[in-house]
């Protein structure tokens, strides 16, 4: 059996990846710092298969990480600070964990070579997704003007003022980094790919879209929009949405993401490649909030549209998953509507603290909300 090191293996995605690896016949060693913002004040691993070995340590602790790596044939690198909004003011923290932490891991792999490295990247590296303009012209790099956003003009337009239509985004799109988080994730994936090519380590980057499912940190308002909405509704409060709620994202179930990681550890001829991992279906944020309120039996809690812009946010980005389908054999199986009942059942059993107001105050105090 292969021994796989999973950094961040106690996290929301990591727990599912670990379980999927064990089902596939692998031995698993987890390396995780168990930070309170993600895991709560108790910071204890939960819902982990008993077969998994857990090593607690910071991703920047080179000796401890190097020791955890010994004997491993494969590494899945999930350890990261996650959250666009928070990254815009806790810059040292995000760069340290995501970029310096990855550098520490790569140096450890240079000492203890592995067969394959799979790194978790993010759809945030794209900035805005592809858009179609008049006469079918594809716009690859689109940015909204702050002056327009301050007057409530949310949708991107071309140079003549014509509204652009969002399109599915594939891996060929030029990156356009709109937040510190996006910058760190792109540096993370590119560092790994450059390292892999130089050291002969087959390296794959998975650009994850909006992952959801049971196990998200309900009290962490900086990540997981579905979990953020759920904590608000569970507290009897209306979910809050920046802008007008019509911005579109791609929501992919955590079990599909976990399967993609396992596929990426064994697929042939994928070294040096990046793959979108999403559902391939766009959803408006307003639609998602409405579906969740209905599933939780609180249709009376209509989403509150803030009509304000948060620095680092983009309008539309959803995935083309054809490359992952063809090269990894990845096919999403868990749709949003079918899995919401299980998600709601889990939410009802969990203790959560609604910290949405705190998040908005922190961003506003720094001038990051217009």
- Point out the residues that are catalytic: 181
CA dihedral 32, 59, 196, 140 (to 10 degrees): 90
* C-alpha pair distances (Å), 178 with each of 11, 124, 143: 25, 8, 9
The 10 Å Cβ neighbour count of residue 24 is 15
Dist. CA 355–CA 302, nearest whole Å: 19
- What's the rounded Cα separation, in Å, for the pair 265 and 73? 10
Dihedral sign for Cα atoms in the order 246, 248, 253, 258: negative
Distance between CA atoms of residues 339 and 342, nearest Å: 6
- What residues contact residue 60 under an 8 Å CB cut-off, 6+ apart? 96, 97, 100, 101, 104
Those residues whose C-beta lies under 8 Å from the C-beta of residue 327, and which sit 6 or more positions away, are 267, 269, 270, 273, 275
CA–CA separation, 292 vs 287, rounded Å? 9
Phi, psi of 168 (to 5 degrees): -60, 140
String of b and e for 105-141 (b: at least 16 CB within 10 Å)? bbebbeebebebbbbbbbbbbbbbbbbebeeeeebee
Gap between the Cα atoms of 213 and 252, Å rounded: 9
């Amino acid at each position: 059996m292969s021994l796989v090191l999973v950094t961040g293996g106690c996290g929301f995605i990591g727990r599912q990846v670990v379980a999927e690896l064990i089902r596939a016949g692998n031995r698993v060693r987890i390396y995780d710092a168990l930070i309170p913002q993600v895991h709560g004040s108790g910071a204890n691993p939960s819902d982990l298969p008993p077969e998994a070995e857990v090593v607690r340590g910071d991703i920047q602790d080179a000796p401890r990480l190097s020791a955890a790596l010994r004997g491993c044939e494969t590494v899945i690198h999930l350890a990261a600070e996650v959250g666009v909004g928070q990254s815009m003011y806790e810059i040292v923290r995000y760069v340290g964990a995501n970029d310096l932490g990855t550098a520490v891991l790569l140096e450890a792999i240079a000492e203890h070579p592995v067969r394959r490295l799979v790194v978790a990247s993010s759809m945030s590296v794209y900035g805005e997704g592809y858009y179609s303009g008049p006469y079918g012209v594809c716009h690859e790099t689109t940015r909204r003007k702050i002056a327009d956003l301050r007057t409530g003009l949310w949708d991107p337009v071309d140079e003549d003022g014509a509204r652009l239509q969002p399109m599915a985004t594939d891996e060929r799109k030029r990156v356009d980094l709109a937040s510190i988080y996006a910058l760190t994730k792109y540096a993370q994936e590119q560092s790994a790919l450059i390292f892999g090519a130089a050291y002969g380590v087959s390296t794959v980057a998975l650009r994850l879209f909006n992952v959801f499912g049971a196990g998200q940190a309900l009290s962490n308002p900086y990540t997981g929009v579905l979990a953020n909405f759920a904590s608000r509704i569970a507290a009897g409060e209306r979910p809050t949405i920046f802008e007008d709620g019509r911005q579109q994202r791609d929501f992919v179930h955590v079990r599909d993401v976990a399967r993609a990681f396992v596929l990426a550890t064994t697929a042939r001829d994928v070294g040096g490649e990046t793959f979108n991992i999403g559902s391939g279906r766009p959803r408006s944020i307003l639609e998602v909030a409405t579906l969740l309120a209905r599933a939780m039996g609180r249709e009376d809690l209509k989403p509150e549209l803030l009509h304000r812009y948060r620095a680092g946010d983009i309008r539309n980005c959803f995935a083309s998953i054809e490359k992952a389908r063809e090269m990894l054999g990845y096919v999403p199986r868990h749709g949003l509507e079918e899995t919401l009942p299980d998600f709601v059942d889990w939410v009802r059993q969990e203790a959560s603290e609604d910290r949405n107001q705190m998040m908005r105050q922190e961003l506003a105090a720094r001038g990051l909300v217009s």
